[in-house]
């Protein structure tokens, strides 16, 4: 089994539900407040670990109670935490999440997530990784560090999975270090200028990625499923209809599940060109759908047996 190394954010999520967003100057009574471990990086690491991968988290938290809770959440899921730094000069990252009518609005304070720099990430790659392992990252840590870390991982022979979330325009020089790109519709629009809504716009976005040499690409489309863009072809991955209660971390569960499946394939001898990405994406789609049926971030990530049972019901 190849190892999944996730470099990314750890946030404590503070989440509340309301019927609508308050307007300026208004105080609104909400309900259902709770805290739970989150952060795109940590959510992806928890999903990969719960779904069977040997997983290590590389990141940073403060020397505070939220940091303790995030580390124990990762450990509880089976992810390695020895590369999660405790920093004295910044608090643990937090995310304020407002849930309104099935949608999330999130405001982040990255805190310790923005303190890690390339030398620290490279040192962890030297300690933890071997060629063929997977390197998974997003955009909630320092962007320059993240882009450089992608190149450092790629240079070491790791298979890089990039989830550019929250999205910003990505410099062209980053793309050669990306082996697999996975992003949602809005992230696709921010990066390519095209919102993938139908066959024509999906083809336009696919042409943009092909021009940059990024292949394969998975674009997730919410309740419409996802599409795999690979070697000039577009393969739809059907959605798994469920009663969704909270979409927080559904995308992260998709990436973690996808990475765990690909790591298992590498462990079974697959070379990068021979990875069965479509098969892994179908599994990820099921895991992600299950995550939407529970409230919260890491607490909503399903176990491998829950995903197997769900897939068996759909077969
Ligand atoms: O993707 C969901 C995550 O985004 C939340 O857990 C929150 O922490 C933000 O990082």
Residue 22 has a pLDDT of 94
Average pLDDT over all residues of the chain: 97
Low-confidence ranges of the chain (pLDDT < 50): none
Residue of 10, 12, 16, 38 best suited for mutating to test ligand 1, as the one with most atoms within 8 Å of CB? 38
Helix-, strand-, coil-residue percentages of the chain, each rounded to 5: 40, 25, 30
Strand, helix or coil for residue 97? strand
What is the structure's pLDDT at 11? 98
Distance 140 CA to ligand 1 centre (A): 9
Does the residue 261 lie in any domain?
yes
Cα separations in angstroms, 172 against 147, 189, 250: 11, 16, 28
Mutate to test the pocket of ligand 1, among 249, 288, 295 (most ligand atoms within 8 A of CB): 249
Per the structure, the complete domain to which residue 71 belongs is given by 3-21+31-314
Give the CA radius of gyration of the chain.
18
pLDDT at res. 223: 86
Structure-block tokens of residue 137: 């990252």
Q: Could you give the 3-state DSSP secondary structure of residue 183? A: strand
- CATH for 227: 3.40.1190.20
Q: Which atom of ligand 1 is nearest to the CA of 9?
A: 10
pLDDT on residue 293: 96
Contact 190, 170 (CB under 8 A): no
**80 Cα–ligand 1 center, Å:** 20
Q: Has residue 172 been placed in a domain? A: yes
The CA distances from residue 229 to 38, 73, 176, 237, 305, in Å, are: 29, 34, 17, 11, 29
Please state the domain count of the chain: 1
Indicate which atom in ligand 1 lies nearest the CA of residue 251: 1
**DSSP H helices in 105-249:** 118-128, 143-155, 185-192, 199-212
pLDDT of residue 59: 98
pLDDT confidence of residue 177? 98
Residue of 12, 34, 92, 97 best suited for mutating to test ligand 1, as the one with most atoms within 8 Å of CB? 97
Instruction: Give tens-digit pLDDT for 201-212.
Output: 999 999 999 999
Q: How many CA atoms lie within 13 A of 281 on its CB side?
A: 26
pLDDT value for 83: 98
Q: What is the pLDDT of residue 81?
A: 98
Question: From ligand 1's centre to the CA of 102, what distance in Å?
Answer: 15
Q: Does residue 288 have a cis peptide bond before it, meaning omega lies within 30 degrees of 0?
A: no
Q: Which residues pair with 60 in a beta bridge?
A: 85
DSSP letter for each residue of 210-266: HHHT--SEEEE-GGG-EEEEETTEEEEE-------S--TTHHHHHHHHHHHHHHHHH
Query: Looking at ligand 1, which residue's alpha carbon is closest to its atom 7?
Result: 39
Residue ID of nearest Cα to ligand 1 atom 6: 38
Catalytic positions are 252
pLDDT at 183: 98
CB atoms inside a 10 Å sphere around CB 312: 8
Judge whether 208 lies within some domain. yes
CA 275 to chain centre: 19
Burial class (CB in 10 A: 0-12, 13-18, 19+), 91: middle
Residue of minimum CA distance from atom 8 in ligand 1: 39
Kindly state whether residue 26 falls inside one of the protein's structural domains: no
CA torsion, points 256, 258, 264, 268, in degrees to nearest 10? Answer: -160
The answer to whether residue 243 sits within a structural domain is yes
Report the nearest atom of ligand 1 relative to the CA of 11. 8
Q: Is residue 35 part of a domain?
A: yes
Atom of ligand 1 nearest to the CA of 43: 6
For residue 102, the model assigns a pLDDT of: 78
Å from CA of 249 to ligand 1 middle: 6
Instruction: Ligand 1: list residues with CB < 6 Å.
Output: 9, 11, 13, 38-40, 43, 95, 106, 108, 140, 248-249, 251-252, 297
Tokens for 138, please give them. 């997003």
The ligand 1 atom at the shortest distance from the C-alpha of residue 94 is: 8
Tens-digit pLDDT profile for residues 127-179 = 999 999 999 999 999 999 999 999 999 999 999 999 999 999 999 999 999 99
Q: How far is CA 2 from CA 73, 238, 267, 272, 306, in A?
A: 22, 27, 5, 12, 23
Residue with structure tokens 């979330």?
Answer: 165
């Amino acid at each position: 089994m190849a190892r999944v190394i996730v470099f990314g954010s750890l946030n404590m999520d503070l989440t509340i539900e309301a019927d609508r967003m308050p307007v300026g100057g208004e105080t609104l009574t909400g309900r259902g407040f709770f805290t739970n471990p989150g952060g795109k990086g940590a959510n992806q690491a928890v999903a990969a670990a719960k779904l069977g991968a040997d997983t290590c988290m590389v990141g940073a938290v403060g020397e505070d109670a939220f940091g303790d809770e995030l580390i124990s959440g990762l450990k509880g899921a089976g992810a390695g935490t020895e590369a999660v730094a405790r920093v004295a000069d910044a608090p643990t990252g937090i995310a304020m999440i407002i849930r309104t009518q099935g949608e999330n609005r999130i405001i982040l304070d990255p805190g310790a997530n923005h303190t890690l720099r390339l030398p620290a990430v490279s040192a962890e790659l030297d300690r933890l990784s071997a060629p063929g392992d997977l390197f998974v990252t997003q955009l909630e840590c320092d962007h320059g560090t993240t882009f450089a870390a992608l190149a450092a991982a790629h240079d070491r022979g790791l298979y890089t999975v990039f989830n550019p979330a929250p999205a910003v325009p990505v410099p062209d020089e980053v793309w050669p270090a990306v082996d697999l790109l996975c992003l949602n519709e809005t992230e696709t629009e921010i990066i390519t200028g095209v919102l993938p809504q139908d066959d024509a716009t999906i083809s336009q976005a696919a042409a943009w990625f092909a021009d940059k040499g990024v292949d394969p690409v998975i674009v997730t489309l919410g309740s419409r499923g996802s599409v795999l863009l690979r070697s000039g072809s577009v393969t739809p991955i059907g959605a798994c209809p469920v009663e969704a209660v909270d979409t927080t971390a559904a995308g992260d569960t998709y990436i973690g599940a996808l990475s765990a499946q690909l790591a298992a394939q590498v462990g079974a001898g697959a070379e990068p060109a021979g990875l069965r990405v479509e098969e892994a994406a179908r599994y990820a789609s099921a895991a992600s759908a299950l995550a939407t049926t529970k409230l919260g971030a890491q607490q909503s990530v399903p176990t491998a047996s829950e995903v197997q049972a769900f897939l068996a019901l759909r077969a």
